[in-house]
Amino acid sequence: MKHPQWPALPYEAWKDTYETLHMWMQIVGKIRLARMPWLNHTWQVTLYPTARGLTTGTMPYGDEHFQLDFDFVAHELSVQTSRDERRSIALAPMSVADFYRAVMTALTDVGMPVQIYRRPSEVESRVPFDVDEGHRAYDAEYAHRCWRILVSSADVLLRFRSRFYGKASPVHFFWGGFDLAVTRFSGRTAPPHPGGIPNLPDRVTRDAYSHEVSSCGFWPGGAPAPYPLFFSYAYPEPEGFGRAPLQPSEARYDTSLHEFVLPYEAVSEADAPEEKLLAFLQSTYEAAANLAHWDRKSLEAAGAT
């Protein structure tokens, strides 16, 4: 392995684990959705990379607080409360329905039951979590690899975010689409988004894209692109965006995704993975900002490249 922090993640090798883990993360994410006050662009629902996995962060519950943490080193989901209570669920092959019941039982045991909308979001499946017996794979090695990539990618995205003085999102993980992302804003409003994302209300999408953005991040892949990749897109997409010059040479514009993509392998196999990824993030942002005539002088840190 050339870079331990950038391990191989072949899509087909862990597809079943990926699909199961996606549903597990949606359950945990929907608990956060149920407990957090609304924040612009639905940022209140996201998860965050940690030194061992992904966390909901602190969530209020009456006068107390709790949080849920995926640990992909010890392979467990922990439930912790401000009353010094803790429950853990081993991450191992089990159905989504079994995982759902285990999580809800743990929350009830610590006196903090939560009700969630039990159908998945942003995927074609409409099978409720509590009856989903079809997704049940868990390969600990590949789950660990995915986390390593997320946390390594987050480090680079944080460096990239630091170059921008305008409004920018946190570096956060969207459990609906299973992607890690950071978003920059020009400050101008955008036309209403057309919506149409499976099992996601259009009002949510339109709030997410209420203002002009350049967004980028990491996605492990899916049916439209069955390989892990880094992405970068603009909304609204300016004229000529897909023909803009970009770096590195392995990057391209994907006409089906309407995004610039850089295959993960191009980064993981590079001599300097972080610098190659930064070049992609910077060049694709410049394509968006220049073609859409952003006020780059006021939005960027001096000397940001």
Backbone angles phi, psi at 274, to 5 degrees: -65, -40
**pLDDT, tens digit (0-9, with 9 covering 90-100), for 199-242:** 999 999 999 999 999 999 999 999 999 999 999 999 999 999 99
Same structural domain for residues 47 and 107? yes
**pLDDT, tens digit (0-9, with 9 covering 90-100), for 35-91:** 999 999 999 999 999 999 999 999 999 999 999 999 999 999 999 999 999 999 999
Give domain status of residue 5, yes or no: no
CA distance 155 to 175: 19
Give domain status of residue 97, yes or no: yes
Same structural domain for residues 43 and 177? no
Residue 130: strand, helix, or coil: helix
Per-residue pLDDT for 304 more than 90?
A: no
Give me the helix-helix angle, 140-161 and 11-35, nearest 10°.
60
Say what the pLDDT of residue 178 is. Answer: 98
**pLDDT, tens digit (0-9, with 9 covering 90-100), for 231-252:** 999 999 999 999 999 999 999 9
- Number of domains present in the structure of the chain: 2
Contacts of 137 (CB under 8 A, 6+ apart): 16, 17, 19, 20, 93
Same structural domain for residues 166 and 122? no
Cβ distance 164 to 300 under 8 Å?
A: yes
Where among 131, 164, 184 does a domain terminate? 131
Cβ distance 47 to 172 under 8 Å?
A: yes
Same structural domain for residues 146 and 294? yes
Backbone angles phi, psi at 263, to 5 degrees: -55, 140
Global confidence as pTM: 0.97
Same structural domain for residues 145 and 294? yes
With cut-offs at 50, 70 and 90, classify the pLDDT of residue 2: confident
Same structural domain for residues 35 and 100? yes
Where among 103, 131, 159 does a domain terminate? 131
Give domain status of residue 117, yes or no: yes
